[in-house]
Structure 1
Amino acid sequence: MGQKLTVCLASYGILLGTMAFANCPAGQEPFTSCQIEGRGTEVHVCFDDQIATYRYGPISGTPDLVLSDAVTHVDYEPWSGLGKAISETVTFYNDGFSYEVGGGFDRPFSEEEMELGPRRFGWIEVAQNGQSLNRLQCIPDTVSYGFGGGIHDIKVAAGLNWDDYSKTWVGDVVTQAPILLSDDEGGCLLASELMLGGVAMGDRAATLHKLGSPEASGVFLPDGREIDRMTAIGLDIDILNGLVIGITATDQMWDMPSGLRVGLTRGEVIAILGRAPSGAAPDADIFNALVCSEGPQDIANWHAVIVFGPDKRVESISFISLAP
């Protein structure tokens, strides 16, 4: 009976995959699709070896929203391997909004359950800036979901690996010795890493003239001193008394000496650091790290903040002096 059930279970994913609506762009195949309860709308997530697409709108009508992303970049979360339900999600992002589309089915654990037919399910989770706005449920009988292969295999073929620790995909980042050193406080960051695109904490503003000229920022310290700011594309440099006391990068062109930069996944950041810093959870939205204290007093007050966006990728990197 076990062999028969195994064969039937293998057929389950194939069966569900062949139930796809034929509403994918030419050359693409379906990941999941369904009609939405009580709305007269449907959603289709399709892909080829390059692009994944999201289409939502009236049933058999012109979509209200079409989004696309590279398959190697798209936020796809594979089945965890746990529980009775097999499900996977793909999330698309657009101007602060995210659209998580999930599809799945319950595994049968007996021939009797197999005879009852597949119990399918699916949903769309709509969020803004990471905060849930609405969860739309699929009509179960309309759910198409083909488990196995697909987007997962394309990512793996591209050299990416799923990291269940951080719930992100990890590429072939160059890692040597971890840049987060061990100590009793949860780790400290090498002072040599507090540099973005060649601009370092403590640099003299006079050496940065190629990036522009400092201007008054309108930001004042508690003692009344105003911070000057130099702005480049995706980079803000804060200056006080002619020295750099803060740097914030929001563009991937500005990387740290280790290669840590905006756009990396949380798992890739952890691979470079060596672990999540300061006791942070591996799926935290913010990583904080103090610089290692070996050095002058001003260096001991430097602090790094890595912020992740809803897509689990680095949104910004900031270096701050805690005692300017």
Structure 2
Amino acid sequence: MSAKAQAGCPQGQESITSCEIEGQNTEVFACFDDQIATYSYGPIGGAPDLFLSETIENVDFEPWSGIGKAIHEKVTFYNGDYSYEIGGGFDRPFSEEEMLLPTRRFGWLDVAQNGETLNTLDCIPETVSYGFGGGIYDAKVAAGLEWDDYSKTWRPDPNRPMAPPALAPILMKGTDLGMVEDCLPPEEFKLFGINLGYHVADLAKLVPPVVGEAITGRGLEFERFMYDGLRMDTYQGAIIEMEATTPFWEMPSGIKVGSTRGEVISILGRVPNGAAATSQKFGALVCLDDRETAAEWYVVLEFGHDKRVQSISFASISP
């Protein structure tokens, strides 16, 4: 959200990292308390041009990997299609000679649109404020989260007090045309009670009735029904495709729009079909014993630039 504030961290918050931007006469701050993380950018000592905030649970903070000479961390704030990644760090000394030298500090601000970098600004090294250890990492852990270095995202910690029982991984192995493929059980092809293959005449039992429209170029047998955040395409009255774009339309396992990659991998049990843990899309077929007598379905989970599920798509390979 946007708001006005004075330069520096809001009252009661401490800095994650901050600096003055080289050649811009501006400064940037990323700050936090146990509830909220904030971002501000603007003229040095003045009111910020942009002020954003996010909950501790949802803020995209990436801790140091533990690898390399440079210790650095970053936090990213999102504002619609735009993202603002602010990072800071320093080189750790590895010899007695290096211990006698001034510590090299560095920082940056990366501005992107839909994941594509628009501008990268360097910090003036001597103005970089960055303190490694504890801080926002501890705040996120206290909120019941754990860091998944595999997917570079946070997910609920199943070992935290009062955590709900962890579900068994739902991703299974199946055979398609003689090839072993990752697959999901048929009961997962459902969004808030609406199954792929469900007959449109029965939709009124689950959601308010909406008149369908013929899909141009596909014939009268194909119709499209639109609900808030859900598109359904039908063939001869049966749903053959669905796409969800809001968190309301949740899969039985709990995967929904807004889930982080780490949460999805935890629910699935692994990354499907050899994809990378940071891939933009995960896909899997339905697990069926007899593909000659049953419809063949598949699911695609697409992630946005914020590393969270942006859409869930179900489809039947053939009507």
TM over 0.5: yes
> Which residue among 250, 274, 280 is the counterpart of 2:245?
250
> Which residue among 144, 164, 169 is the counterpart of 1:178?
169
1:175 CA displacement: 3.7
> Which residue among 152, 160, 164 is the counterpart of 2:137?
152
Rounded to whole Å, the distance in 2 between the matches of 1:225 and 1:177 is: 42
CA contact (8 A) 1:86 1:106 kept: yes
The 5 Å alignment of 1:193-232 reads: 193-209=188-204, 210-216=207-213, 218-221=215-218, 224=219, 227-232=222-227
> Which residue among 29, 32, 49 is the counterpart of 1:64?
49
CA contact (8 A) 2:7 2:48 kept: no
> Which residue among 32, 39, 56 is the counterpart of 1:47?
32
Rounded to whole Å, the distance in 1 between the matches of 2:300 and 2:217 is: 21
CA contact (8 A) 1:214 1:228 kept: no
Q: Which amino acid aligns with 2:185?
A: L
Which secondary structure does the structure 2 equivalent of 1:154 belong to? helix
Find the counterpart in structure 1 of residue 12 from structure 2. Answer: 27
Q: Which amino acid aligns with 1:220?
A: G
1:263 maps onto 2:258 in alignment? yes
- 1:258-312: CA deviations, max 9, x gaps? 1111111101111111111111111111001111132564744211000111111
Rounded to whole Å, the distance in 1 between the matches of 2:216 and 2:266 is: 35
CA contact (8 A) 1:211 1:231 kept: no
1:233 CA displacement: 1.6
User: TM (normalized to structure 2)?
Assistant: 0.90
How many residue pairs align between the two structures?
302
Gaps (5+ residues) in structure 2? 1-5, 159-164
1:114 CA displacement: 2.0
The 5 Å alignment of 1:106-185 reads: 106-172=91-157, 175-183=166-174, 184-185=179-180
State, as a whole percentage, how many aligned pairs show the same letter: 57
Gaps (5+ residues) in structure 1? 1-20
Rounded to whole Å, the distance in 2 between the matches of 1:226 and 1:57 is: 56
1:110 CA displacement: 2.1
CA contact (8 A) 1:123 1:135 kept: yes
- 1:96-124: CA deviations, max 9, x gaps? 00011000000011232122111000001
Rounded to whole Å, the distance in 2 between the matches of 1:139 and 1:217 is: 59
Rounded to whole Å, the distance in 2 between the matches of 1:76 and 1:219 is: 44
User: TM (normalized to structure 1)?
Assistant: 0.89
> Which residue among 71, 75, 78 is the counterpart of 1:93?
78
